[in-house]
């Protein structure tokens, strides 16, 4: 099985996931790609990749048998490395989404990780195959948070290691995801200062991604990163710092979590009238 760079930007079709948040809309977008008689037509490799992403959208809508059938078609469409890596990733995700035991989905993620990680030569690095190694490591971290590829490295740490060492902007985004997950783990352990440090690094990465390309996804993830940072600041009794961030988020568009935090912060800061304003918004708008 050889390496074929199937798109100028790995992962292929990332823009579909960046531009849409509704899973049925994503499914429709991939069906249009697959059914479009483009000139030139999709290569067998890109077609296989598109099928894996269609299956992912189907799985996220709980259409698990359809997703498995689509993945079977993807596997038969191309014998190249990247489509096979994506097949294993998405089969693992479909199984996990269908509540299958970790023992069923984990081998698919491990296969994807090994395929991508073992392709770490110059061609693979240039193509950004490390994106899939980070993706697989991240999924294994969700299944097995306290184990990893070695006795001294957890899967979350391996995800971060891959992302920080990559020159691919998409691979680098996995650092924010790994940092976010680790930050919440530290928060649950009441290690608030360490949690805040990780959230801040994640926020920096999310901001860089937004500046690189503004999409619905980059805007949303940057907002969530800042909200999380403010949430931890409140737990550190740094109410004014948290308030400043939450007010900025409110100016960009209100959400229920944003208003809820502002109620708590205004109470701490003795802002009685503003507390009433946020409570009223929660009662009437959410």
What is the tens place of the pLDDT at every residue in 221-257?
A: 999 999 999 999 999 999 999 999 999 999 999 999 9
Would residue 251 count as lying in a domain?
A: no
pLDDT tens profile 8-46: 457 889 888 887 879 999 999 999 999 986 667 889 999
Evaluate whether residue 66 is within a structural domain: yes
84 found inside a domain: yes
Q: Which two tokens stand for residue 72?
A: 């079977």
Report if residue 13 sits inside a domain.
Answer: yes
Q: Give just the sign of the alpha carbon dihedral 221, 14, 20, 211.
A: positive
> What DSSP line would sit under 164-189, residue for residue?
HT---HHHHHHHHHHHHHHHHHHHHT
Q: How many domains does the chain have?
A: 1
Query: Which pTM value belongs to this model?
Result: 0.82
Comparing CA positions, the residue from 134, 195, 136 lying closest to residue 165 is 134
Q: What is the pLDDT of residues 119-171, one digit of tens each?
A: 866 566 656 799 999 999 999 999 998 899 999 999 999 999 999 998 888 88
CATH of the domain at 145: 1.25.40
Give residue 3's domain range: 1-156
Strand-pairing partners, residue 150, are 153
* Domain annotation covers residue 21: yes
Q: For residue 282, tell me if it sits in a domain.
A: no
Q: Is residue 165 part of a domain?
A: no
Please tell me the number of Cα atoms within 13 Å of 266 on its side-chain side. Answer: 17
Which of 70, 61, 59 is CA-nearest to residue 95? 59
Say how far apart CA 191 and CA 210 lie, in whole Å: 29
User: 147-173: string of b/e by CB count within 10 Å (b at 16+)?
Assistant: ebbeeeebbbbbbbbbbbebebebbbb
pLDDT in tens, 60-91: 999 999 999 999 999 999 989 999 999 999 99
Q: Is the pLDDT of residue 110 over 50?
A: yes
């Amino acid at each position: 099985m050889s390496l074929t760079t199937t798109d100028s930007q790995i992962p292929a079709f990332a823009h579909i996931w960046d531009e849409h948040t509704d899973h049925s809309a994503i499914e429709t977008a991939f069906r249009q790609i697959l059914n479009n008689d483009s000139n030139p037509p999709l290569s067998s490799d890109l077609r296989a990749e598109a099928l894996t992403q269609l299956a992912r959208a189907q799985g996220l809508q709980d259409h698990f048998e359809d997703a498995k059938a689509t993945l079977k078609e993807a596997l038969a469409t191309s014998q190249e490395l990247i489509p096979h890596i994506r097949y294993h990733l998405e089969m693992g995700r479909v199984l996990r989404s269908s509540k299958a035991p970790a023992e069923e989905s984990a081998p698919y993620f491990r296969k994807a990780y090994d395929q991508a990680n073992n392709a770490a030569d110059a061609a693979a690095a240039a193509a950004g195959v490390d994106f899939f190694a980070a993706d697989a490591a991240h999924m294994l971290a969700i299944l097995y948070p306290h184990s990893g590829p070695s006795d001294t490295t957890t899967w979350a740490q391996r995800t971060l290691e891959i992302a920080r060492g990559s020159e691919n902007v998409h691979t680098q985004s996995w650092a924010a995801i790994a940092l976010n997950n680790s930050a919440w783990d530290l928060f649950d352990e009441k290690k608030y200062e360490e949690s805040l440090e990780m959230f801040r690094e994640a926020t920096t990465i999310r901001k860089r991604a937004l500046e690189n390309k503004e999409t619905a996804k980059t805007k949303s993830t940057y907002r969530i990163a800042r909200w999380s940072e403010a949430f931890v600041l409140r737990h550190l009794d740094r109410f004014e710092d948290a308030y400043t961030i939450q007010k900025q988020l409110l100016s960009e568009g209100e959400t229920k979590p944003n208003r809820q935090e502002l109620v708590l912060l205004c109470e701490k800061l003795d802002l009685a009238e503003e507390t009433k304003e946020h409570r009223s918004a929660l009662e009437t708008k959410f």
